[in-house]
Structure 1
Amino acid sequence: MRIVVASCQVDYAGRLTAHLPMAKRVLMIKSDGSVLIHSDGGSYKPLNWMSPPCSIREGTSEDGQLEWIVTATKADGTLRILIDEVHHDSSHDLGVDPGLQKDGVEKHLQELLAEHPATLADGLTLVRREFPTAIGPVDLMCRDASGLSVAVEIKRRGEIDGVEQLTRYLELLNRDPLLTTKGQVRGIFAAQEIKPQARVLAADRGIACAVVDYDALRGMDDAEHRLF
């Protein structure tokens, strides 16, 4: 990962346009090909970014200023970063990340869904939990009734970041000929609650959404003991 602290101006041109005026920011260039621009606020969300894979061309503008042109490989759009001053520039090899170690409800959800994958989709069967990829493990790797591979990402609360995470997994998995013998690997985004924006993004990416009833999976929602 390369981390640059710089005074910069950022302009995005694509289906929409966006402008960040000159200010000091953190630029992150990850080994997966993504570029993220952060400020010192706004929690974990970047001000702007380019999803992987993308290419970076470093040069100078007509005025002689340092300029980065970031172009997405699989989508239209260009991120132009005009750098006035570099305050810090360093690169770090982070190695292979072992992935998030889940605990509490999310871990238990994964265990329960591994035991009952058909609650997500009819005919779904489990192949493996924590299916390994180069960027972290997929929660569940399953197979549907037609033999197609299905990757399942599980969250307590389903938000856009979770859809993006599953999208990255699917991009890698669909390069594996052993998983695509019968067709493309499809995805299911499962959570106790899924935000509307995440649903829209999932639909756009061809990912199915499944709302999980945790109590029912735990056996607490027993129809025999209901009053009504």
Structure 2
Amino acid sequence: MKYKILEKPGCEDAYDLIQDALRKKATIIIFACCKVSYEGRALSELNWGERIIMIKPDGAFLIHQEKKVEPVNWQPPKSRTRAYIKNDNLFLESHRRSPKELLTVEVKKVQFISYANMEDYEELEQAGYEKDMSDMIMEKPHMIEEGFTPTTREYSVEHGFIDILGKDSDNNLMILELKARKAGVTAVKQLRRYIQDMENTDNDYLREVNAEKKKIRGLLVAPSIMDDALELIEEEGIEFVSVEPPRELKRDKKVTLDFF
């Protein structure tokens, strides 16, 4: 990793380092006393304070305070950064073209500034989400019930996308709403809307999979369910199936003879 660090630089030295970093498409980190203004879809202003400024090679521009995970101001990737000196202060601007947005940072005093050319080609692998549950159920449908046949995923209806559609051993249509965490009333209400959408829809899907519309079964699939949600599914005639999402990352899977 190639990097450069300056402690308590003057305005011109800080400007020169930023220009050098922008040319080299490096990641820039600045600890400074600054003031921030934003104009675009809304207006905001943040008065003087000590903050962390981060500028990434993809154009992302973030300003962090000492608390909270999220930046207090930010611009997304593909924004364009420029620096200039005015009235003996360093100014940083981040321009976004569409929609038009401008984030302006006036820097009064820099405590620490650095840049580094980082190398990182890895993609984040995740497990334990609804997508992982969906993959697992499609691969092992019997975990929902014996005779369950999944037929499609992310099926579009008026109120959103049904996670999994399928049919049971009696050819009744089954609608699965998946939640990777404890399911609440909101999930039950969403599933109820999906059931109503399918009841009110005369489409070719049912004929394609030879499912019956006379009985539509709604199944809420999650590791556990809240008490108020359990009461609601009993009122609505919806079923609950307890399924834990997989916790194994793909990189942890080992190929054995069982694979063949």
Q: TM-score, normalised by structure 1?
A: 0.50
Larger Rg: 1 or 2? 2
Q: Which has the higher helix share?
A: 2
